[in-house]
Structure 1
């Protein structure tokens, strides 16, 4: 017999101190899958997660394809019960400039009800929310469980498709919970129902065979930096909307996102205007965006009085749900080749691409999730929201497991600062997330009865 809601509430409250302690232990492991970092820490992180899952009574294996280690834990379903796959990732983003952090990024610290540290929210708290739900049930799990904890999501999930294909039958399930998103606000839960896709690429312009004297040749000779700047400027129209022909985009987001809240959460400076037209939610969820992430050129302090012969920029293009990243990349490259000024040479190189996704969040599993969220947040109904970021592998899950209901949830809130300095987890919201997942497993079990 499954545990009641009151019993699960008491169980989560009982387990939370230990869950938090284990979360802090995970945060102390700098498991960064990026090139140039010590990957032994990713191995340590995988081992730590495996130990946590074994402690929940799961059969556990550490697996790898061509990349970093993932962890799979399984427990068979009771007779007639459905199986739920719980996804999270144990790797983290690099910390960046330590001077930007108020405290050591890999030493968790609580301040004002938030736990600070790299990965405290994204996504080690996702791992621990799964663990909390399993610990709450103990030996009375009402569903079958498959935990899949990836080890290189922040680095692009390059070997994930390989792992999904290899372990497809082990991972096959009726419901998939991907705990790598967030909630609408503190005190307001959400299901993520759409995510944008992604094309990251490099554009390099060349105007000279070598650097030359800026006084002797400046005037008629275009330097590469000016040329690159003019090319980048063509990516948006005068209103700030993306001007690349061939990219999809649509209106239709129905959630109200007040501009003052958005400006506060984004940290926009006073007087800086927003770009683009239409509803804010459309601009960040259902329309494309283009950002310049970096430029390779001489530094200002060390630059000689010489015309720069070559300059390169990294572009990040987020794609609207419904677009195809392959055709989008073709459109981006065609635009850059067409609009490069003054006959400059241009080369465009793809770094990575990822598919957007749209989830039809209707049906019994989604009703079960909404009911769990409403109960965990004391009567507050969850919001169906889009996300401007990208989780390309969700499309892979949709393709491999077309009959499974995919629920995209998470622990982040608008102030979590994932990927940035001073990343943090709201501990009160984390408690609600843990309870919601336990209630979700109970509700899903009831669907099989």
Structure 2
């Protein structure tokens, strides 16, 4: 395995040989994951898993995305790629996870696996990726692991992290006070919960539960970051660019009638519509300069997930400047949906009021191919699992003028639900004074 970073661009000397062939494969993807080091990108049962690791690009700091894009271009320019499938995700790909903040202690990574098993539009493929100096003249046939039997989800007991519930409500109240003072329009504040993973089964069962319970989200696993995100940050496919903006949240109803009422209230909520408009405006402003045309849904629509409703707007356009998906990730991150408005003032408020390093939470997560195409989501409904078994889960809310601290705290509990249930425990909800 070759490792490179921005300070020592060893990737310039790295040459990869890549072979992709179609296969007749119908078994589910998740049971074939490496339980210790899963690499996964999937929605509605289609996507990719990665096995092993040939190359890792690590970056950090304000230029982390640009540095990763530069190193990735060096790798792809030197690669020998034979792709006989030609679908999004076939050929040479890297799975990626980017830290949220410029000064985060967490590294940003692009991971190139040895084997990729993919499925899309009813077709399946296998890609083998090798270092040229290690590749034989006649590569051995690819042997995929047998699907593992289904196991119970691992048990993790979560406790409040650096930002306990009572501190979160104080921070929200302070953010509202500053918004009322005119310092900024919106700021997204998050909190964390922490637990320990003891089971030897690893993360495969947790990811299987996320995939089963939230099939319409992007279920991902990259370098210990796992989650199920409903929000597409940016997708690039042969010159077409698309994104899905989410902002504004409501709980699901107890029955069909109350569920419809919840969706209707969300769709007409002045507070949620205002928050959503700021997020859409931010996305259009950052994507627009890179497109020849960019269209948005005429009105926000309500997106139904198993545990909540979101206000959503879809964007779709045509690239006008040849940007890669990583170039667009650099342009749009962080969006108003996970930072606030104005961006720089909101980021300063997050650093002051949250009191912890978000790591890769709310950062871009996804994949990029040799042409620069790819799919990237925002790392939401997620947790970072460290080598020592520490599990840090995150949830946040957009704070605007009308925000009520107790309501925002309850919303974070809703957003914790996918991860805590994937790890077999209810979220901690201590009473708020």
TM more than 0.5: no
Q: Which of the pair is proportionally richer in strand?
A: 2
Higher helix residue share = 1
Between structure 1 and structure 2, the one with the greater Rg is 1
Higher relative contact order (CA 8 A, sep 6+): 1
